[in-house]
C-alpha cells in the first residue's frame, strides 16, 4: 500500500481490515473521544479530518484461507485483506461514528449520494447475493472477545 493521504472511503475500497490477535481491544476513554469529536465539530465545510498515520500489513494467504466467513469476499470480490497494525483505535472510533449516523437518520436518506445500505455495505458489512453469509469489512478475528462485542453492541447484529 502506498504512503499517500487517503480518505476513509478510499481506505475501505475493496479492503477487508482485521485487527491482529496481538493488538489490544478498543481502549479509548472519554478524553480521546471528546478530542476526536471536537476535531470533527470544528471542521469547516470542504475540510477533511486527518486521523493520523495508519499502518496496514498484508495478510498472508495461510491466515485468510482460514477465515470461512470472509473467503467469498476475498476470492469473488477481490477484496484485499489487511491487518491494522497501527490506528485501530482511530478506525474503530470512525466506524462507531458511521454506525451511529446510520442509526440516527431516516432510513430513506442518502449521504453523499449513497444510500444507507450502500454505506453499510462499504464500511460495516457486505453479504453474498444469496444472503447466506457475509463479512464484516472491519473487525477482529472471530475468536477474539472484541469481535462479538463489536458485532452485537456496536453493529447491533445478533
Task: Report pLDDT digits (tens) over 128-140.
Answer: 888 778 999 999 8
Question: Quick one: average pLDDT of 87-108?
Answer: 94
pTM assigned to the model: 0.91
Q: Count the helices and strands in the chain (H runs, E runs).
A: 7, 8
DSSP H helical ranges for 42-87:
61-64, 71-75
Query: Measured between alpha carbons, how far is 2 from 154 in angstroms, rounded to an integer?
Result: 30
Write down the pLDDT at residue 1: 56
- Nearest in space to 123 (alpha carbons), one of 1, 8, 4: 8
How do residues 143-157 score in pLDDT, each as one tens digit?
A: 788 889 999 999 998
Question: Quick one: average pLDDT of 36-48?
Answer: 89
Q: What is the rounded (10 degree) CA torsion for 132, 138, 144, 147?
A: -60
Looking at every residue in the chain, the average pLDDT score rounds to 91
Question: Quick one: average pLDDT of 23-49?
Answer: 90
DSSP structure class, residue 144: S
Count of CB atoms situated within 10 Å of the CB of 86 = 14
Count of CB atoms situated within 10 Å of the CB of 92 = 22
Query: Measured between alpha carbons, how far is 143 from 49 in angstroms, rounded to an integer?
Result: 33
Question: Quick one: average pLDDT of 10-30?
Answer: 92
Amino acid at each position: 500500500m502506498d504512503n499517500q493521504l487517503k480518505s476513509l472511503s478510499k481506505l475501505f475500497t475493496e479492503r477487508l481490515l482485521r485487527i491482529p490477535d496481538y493488538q489490544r481491544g478498543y481502549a479509548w476513554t472519554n478524553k480521546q473521544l471528546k478530542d476526536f469529536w471536537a476535531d470533527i465539530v470544528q471542521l469547516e465545510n470542504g475540510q477533511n479530518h486527518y486521523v493520523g498515520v495508519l499502518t496496514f500489513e498484508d495478510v498472508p494467504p495461510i491466515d485468510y484461507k482460514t477465515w470461512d466467513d470472509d473467503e467469498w469476499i476475498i476470492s469473488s470480490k477481490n477484496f484485499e485483506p489487511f491487518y491494522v497494525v497501527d490506528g485501530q483505535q482511530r478506525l474503530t472510533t470512525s466506524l462507531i461514528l458511521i454506525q451511529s449516523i446510520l442509526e440516527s437518520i431516516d432510513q430513506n436518506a442518502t449521504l453523499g449520494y449513497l444510500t444507507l445500505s450502500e454505506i453499510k455495505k462499504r464500511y460495516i458489512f457486505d453479504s453474498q447475493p444469496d444472503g447466506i453469509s457475509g463479512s464484516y469489512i472491519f473487525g477482529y478475528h472471530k475468536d477474539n472477545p472484541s469481535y462479538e462485542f463489536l458485532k452485537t453492541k456496536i453493529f447491533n447484529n445478533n
